[in-house]
Structure 1
Amino acid sequence: MTATIDRPTGVLAALRRTPAPVRYLLGGVLVNQLGAFVQTFMVLYLVFRGFSAAQAGIAITAYSVGSVLGGLAGAELIHRIGPRATIATAMLGSAVVLTVVPLLSSSRLFGALLLALVLAGLSTQSYRPAAALLLSDLMPADIRVMGFSMMRIALNLGGALSPLIAAGLILLDWNLLFWFDAATALAYAVLARSFLPDVRTDRQSPDPARTGPRAAYAVLLRDGRYGLFLASVLIGTVIYVQYTIALPLKISAAGHSTDLYSAALVTSAIVLIVCELKVTAYVSRWPGYVAATAGTALMGVAAASYGLSGDSAVALVASTVVLVFGIMINGPTMFAYPATFPAPVKARYISAHQTTFGLGMAIGPLFGVAAWTTLGNGIWWLCGGLAQVAALFALLGMKPKGEAS
Structure 2
Amino acid sequence: MIITSTGRRVAGARPFLVGMFADALGSGLYVPLTLLFIHQVTGLPLTTVGLGVTAAAVVGLAANPAAGALIDRFGARRVLMATYLLRAAGFAAYPFVDGFAALVAVAAVVATGDRAYYPASGSYVALLARGADRDKLYTLMATARNVAFGLGGLLSAGAVSLAGGAGFTLIAALNAASFLVATGCLVVSGRRAPAPATPREPRGYRAVFSDRPFVALVAAEQAFTLAHMILPVALPVYAVTVLGAPVWLTGVLYTLNTVLVAAGQLAVRRWQRAARRTHAMALAGTILVAACALYAATALLPPGAPRAGGLLVATLVLTLGELMHTTPSWALAAATAPPALRGRYLAIHQQTWAVAAVVAPGGYAALLDTEPSLLWIALAALLVPACLALLRLARRLPPDAVAAPGT
**TM-score, normalized by length of structure 2?**
0.85
- Counterpart in 1 of 2:255? 266
Aligned to 1:178: 172
**Structure 1 pair 25–367 and aligned structure 2 pair: CA distance change class (3 A):** farther
Aligned residues: 383
When residues 233 and 121 of structure 1 are mapped into structure 2, their CA distance, relative to the original with a 3 A threshold, is same
Q: Give 2:271's aligned residue.
A: 282
Alignment deviations for residues 160-210 of structure 1 (CA, whole Å, 9 cap, x no partner): 2222122122232223332222111111111112333465422423xxxxx
My pick for the range that moved more, 388-397 or 242-251, is: 388-397
Q: Following TM superposition, by how much is the alpha carbon of 1:18 offset from its aligned partner in structure 2, in angstroms?
A: 5.0
Structure 1 distance, partners of 2:26, 2:367, is: 31
Return the match for 2:190 from 191, 196, 201: 196
1:71 equivalenced with 2:64 (yes/no): yes
Runs of 4+ in 1 over 6 A off after TM superposition: none
Q: Is 1:368 the equivalent of 2:364?
A: yes
Residue 220 of structure 1 pairs with residue 208 of structure 2: yes
Task: Report the CA distance shift for 1:63/1:393 in structure 2 as closer, same or farther (over 3 A).
Answer: farther
- Aligned residue for 1:174, secondary structure, equals helix
Q: 1:91 to 1:309 in 2, by over 3 A?
A: same
**Distance in structure 2 (CA, Å) of the matches to 1:53 and 1:289:** 44
Identify the residue that residue 331 of structure 1 maps to in structure 2: 326
1:155 aligns with 2:150: no
Contact 2:24–2:152 (CA<8 Å) still a contact in 1? yes
Q: Is the 8 A contact 2:25 2:149 kept in 1?
A: yes
Q: 1:21 aligns to what?
A: 12
Distance in 1 between residues matched to 2:394 and 2:357, nearest whole Å: 22
Separation of aligned partners in 2, 1:301 and 1:203: 45
Partner of 1:5: none
Q: Output the aligned Cα RMSD.
A: 2.6
Paired letter, 1:42: T
The one-letter code sitting in structure 2 at the alignment partner of 1:381 is I
CA distance in 2, matches of 1:358, 1:16: 36
| 1:385 maps to amino acid | A
Equivalent in 348, 353, 358 of residue 352 of structure 1: 348
**Deviation (angstroms), 1:402:** 11
1:89 and 2:82 aligned: yes
Q: Secondary structure at the match of 2:61?
A: helix
- Which residue of the partner structure matches residue 32 of structure 1? 23
Deviation at residue 357 of structure 1 after TM alignment: 2.4
Shift of 1:399: 4.0
- d(CA) in 1 for partners of 2:44, 2:392: 47
Is contact 1:203-1:345 (8 Å) kept?
Answer: no
- For residues 317-367 of structure 1, what are the alpha-carbon distances to aligned partners after superposition, in whole Å with 9 as ceiling and x for unaligned? 111111111112121001111221221222211222122223323432232
Is contact 1:82-1:199 (8 Å) kept?
Answer: no
Q: Which runs of 5+ in 1 are unaligned?
A: 1-10, 206-210
Per the TM alignment, residue 390 of structure 1 is displaced from its structure 2 partner at its CA by 2.8
* Alpha-carbon distance in structure 2 between the residues aligned to 1:290 and 1:330: 10
1:4: which partner in 2?
none
Percent of aligned pairs with the same residue? Answer: 20
Distance in 1, Cα, partners of 2:325 & 2:150: 21
Task: Flag structure 2 segments of 5+ consecutive residues without an equivalent.
Answer: 400-407
Q: For residue 32 of structure 2, what is the amino acid of its counterpart?
A: T
1:300 aligned residue (258, 283, 289): 289
In structure 1, C-alpha distance between the alignment counterparts of 2:362 and 2:194, rounded to whole Å: 39
In 2, are the aligned partners of 1:84 and 1:196 still within 8 Å (CA)? yes
**Distance change in 2, residues 1:30/1:402 (3 Å):** closer
| TM-score, scaled to structure 1 | 0.86
Counterpart amino acid of residue 252 in structure 1: V
**Secondary structure of 2:231's partner?**
coil
Partners of 2:129 and 2:35 in 1: how far apart?
A: 38
Would you say the 8 A contact 1:237–1:364 is kept in 2?
no
